Amino acid sequence: MKFYSYTDLSKDKVEAICLRQLEDDSSILERVKSIVTRVKNEGDKALFDYASQFDKVIMNKLYIDKEEIESIASTIPADAKSAIDTAYQNIRTFHASQANKEGRVETMEGVECWRETRAIEKVGLYVPGGSAVLPSTFLMLGIPALIAGCKEIVVCSPPQQDGKTNCYVAYCAVKLGIERIYLIGGAQAVAAMAYGTESVPKVYKIFGPGNRYVTQAKQLVQSAAGTAIDMPAGPSEVLVLADETANPSYVASDLLAQAEHGADSQAILVATSRKIIDKILERLEIQIKELPRREVTALAIANSYAVLVENLEQGMEFSNVYAPEHLILATEKFEQLIPLITNAGSVFLGNLTPESAGDYASGTNHTLPTSGFAKAYSGVSLDSFVKKITFQHISRKGLENIGSTVEILAAAEGLDAHKNAISIRLKG
């Protein structure tokens, strides 16, 4: 892990070390373009071919329906079933609290304006699967889609070696009332949902994390097909801000939890003394030896760094420039730092709040902006699955009150037809 002293860094250097690689290499982009174009033109045929090529599975059909989903779900271990039930309830409780109806506002006498919420009718959820088991992502996307009232929820997840899905994903589908899972992975799944095929319905917005191919495909269909996506995404990341009240073992575990996602993940440590940094890195070296994914984790740690700051306030200054996906405040003084946070995807407060809790079951969503996009984007929420439509109603009194204002402004812009739309009503 590299080391920097914040006071020795120029503004340009701070921005440089905070810059993540946002663009995929040209070979990935060209490959994704080829996949997306083929799915667009050939539909299901391309999807069957890619299942054989990428997933090493010969598929007879591209989906499983309710009866088979329920059969697979019935094989879930009891403890996993209970854990999913708990996570489901917590995530649902938190997201349901976001459904707030707005009131009507009279901007002037006789002029009434308001907004109403409408669900996005057709949404696509990409749930990474294959060899990895990711029921948590299914819950994080499916629950707010369900609460929002989306009429059509299309779910794509890569097939396992038996050409099916795993019992964890199947059980989540049962909990969510999803009666069909499309066994499609990678960039081809994104393309199928963006353009539609003989089997896969076209959707209006695509959600979900994935590898570099999935990420590139989402960005591509956003521009080429006009399909909305949840947010720009990149490798996962965490920034831990620690002081003398932090527990070094806890902080080390948080850094490693992030680093095990992949070699391109970043685990940034910002601390108020070199002594704290050394203690944390010492614990990190001990813990990493026990991890099954230690080789990948070590590569991510080598790609990460520690920053020495003079105090917590300076640490927050650095954090806001970095704009982390996950921000952990490993300090007993976290309350005084909350008002200073301007850029972060999700924040974990105190020494007993690991990022893992938010990844799975505390209730907040784990689909979050990465690569500095937390400066302008929020994580997935109920709002991600709805649109806000504005309404206005003007009475005769309201028209008389607002009419001259609109006429004058329309005339100033040289738009006489706009002016006349008011004038003709005032005369009537």
Residues placed in the known binding site for Zn(2+): 258, 261, 359, 418
Q: Which of 260, 325, 355, 366 is catalytic?
A: 325
Q: Which of 95, 260, 326, 355 is catalytic?
A: 326
Write out the binding residues for substrate.
236, 258, 261, 326, 359, 413, 418
Structure tokens at 305: 């760094």
- Alpha-carbon distance of 251 to 253, in angstroms, equals 5
In angstroms, the first-to-last Cα distance of the chain is 75
- Alpha-carbon distance of 207 to 218, in angstroms, equals 9
Compute CA 127 distance to the chain's CA centroid, rounded to the nearest angstrom: 12
Task: Kindly tell me the sign of the dihedral angle through the C-alpha atoms of 351, 352, 358, 360.
Answer: positive
Annotated catalytic residue 326: yes
Number of H helices, E strands in the chain: 17, 15
Cα Rg, the chain, nearest whole Å = 25
∠ at Cα 422 (416, 426), nearest 5°? 130
Write out the binding residues.
126, 188, 211, 236, 258, 261, 326, 359, 413, 418
∠ at Cα 157 (154, 162), nearest 5°? 130
| For helices 78-96 and 135-148, angle between their N-to-C axes, nearest 10 degrees | 40
Neighbours of 406 (CB within 10 A): 15
CA 176 → CA 72, 138, 363, 402, distances in Å? 15, 9, 16, 48
- Alpha-carbon distance of 252 to 1, in angstroms, equals 12
Do 365 and 379 touch, CB atoms closer than 8 A?
yes
Torsion of CA 247, 253, 258, 260, to 10 degrees: 160
Write out the binding residues for NAD(+).
126, 188, 211
Annotated catalytic residue 95: no
Show which residues are catalytic.
Answer: 325-326
